[in-house]
Amino acid sequence: MPRHVAIIMDGNGRWARKRHLPRVAGHRKGVETVRGTIRAAIDRGIEYLTLFAFSSENWRRPQDEVSILMDLFLRALEQEVAKLHENGIRFRVVGDLARFDARIRELAAAGEQLTRGNERLTLTIAANYGGRWDIAQAARRYYQAHREALEPDAPLDPDALAPYLSMSYAPEPDLFIRTGGEERISNFLLWQLAYTELYFTDLLWPDFDGKALDDAIASYRARERRFGRTSEQVQHAAAR
């Protein structure tokens, strides 16, 4: 079973269009799918579930759609955080929250604080997140922490930078899923996906369900993760 599953929830707009509904109907349905996916992840013993809700590039959408997405996020924070806590879920938000309304920032911080001792599932919502932003902010924080002792010519060890990435509390994702048929990363977790198994499905996010999650997990389980080694090495290590 993958410990950490990271999902790009894509296809809400197309789901709505197919039904001659406004795009917002797809986003609303997408929130329901999030609830079902959290339940399905818990049932399967997944420890970390990370969902891409709003990318740093999504500000480029029409202003009214951005507002609707912000409103949905705000409502979800208001209505769902207590339920997450009741279910033993640890809640985290990653991304540059500075651009969000104060109310969203307060609710996100309060939700993280309330649920920080929970251990059943760590649910991370990536909001105004960009993989490039994450690496840049890690470099900045690394520099701030080491300013005094920094040798200008000293090599920067990637392992030394990793603790400053915004998801340093979680292992790197084992399985990445993107719904909606597009086969790209769209500036999601760039650093952390280096050795993640990638899975793409044409299902639109509102249609994603437990069966679809099981299909992704089955694909993951059929793969051999070599991390640069040979297949023989991996099989030898597994047999021991």
Residue 12 to residue 69: CA distance in whole angstroms: 11
Binding mask 12-51 for ligand IPE (x = CB under 6 A): xxx-------------------------------------
- For 18, phi then psi, to 5°, come to -60, -25
Binding mask 99-138 for ligand IPE (x = CB under 6 A): ----------------------------------------
Any contact of residue 10 with Mg ion (CB under 5 A)? yes
Any contact of residue 94 with ligand IPE (CB under 6 A)? no
- For 174, phi then psi, to 5°, come to -85, -40
Please, which of residues 142-181 interact with ligand IPE by CB under 6 A? 180
DSSP 143-181: HHHHGGG--TT----HHHHGGGSTTTTSPPPSEEEE-SS
Binding mask 59-88 for ligand IPE (x = CB under 6 A): ----------x-------------------
Residue 80 to residue 82: CA distance in whole angstroms: 6
Stretch that binds ligand IPE, among 8-16, 40-48, 130-138, 227-235 (CB under 6 A): 8-16
Out of 5, 6, 8, 89, which residue is the one contacting ligand IPE (CB under 6 A)? 8
226 contacts which partner out of Mg ion, ligand IPE, none, CB within 5 to 8 A by kind?
none
The reply to whether 58 belongs to the active site is yes
Residue with tokens 């949905």: 72
6 contacts which partner out of Mg ion, ligand IPE, none, CB within 5 to 8 A by kind?
none
Any contact of residue 134 with Mg ion (CB under 5 A)? no
CB-nearer residue toward ligand IPE: 68 or 161: 68
Residue 143 to residue 22: CA distance in whole angstroms: 46
Tell me the β-bridge partners of 51.
7, 125
Radius of gyration, alpha carbons of the chain: 19
Minimum Å gap between C-beta 112 and ligand IPE is 20
Any contact of residue 201 with ligand IPE (CB under 6 A)? no
Q: Do residues 112 and 92 lie in contact, with contact meaning Cβ atoms separated by under 8 Å? A: yes
Out of 5, 10, 166, 217, which residue is the one contacting ligand IPE (CB under 6 A)? 10
Residue 230 to residue 77: CA distance in whole angstroms: 46
118-140 burial, b at 16+ Cβ within 10 Å, e below that, comes to: beebbbbbbbbbbbebbbeebee
Q: What are the residue numbers of the active site?
A: 10, 58
For ligand IPE, the binding residues (CB under 6 A) are: 8-14, 52-55, 58, 69, 180, 182, 184, 186
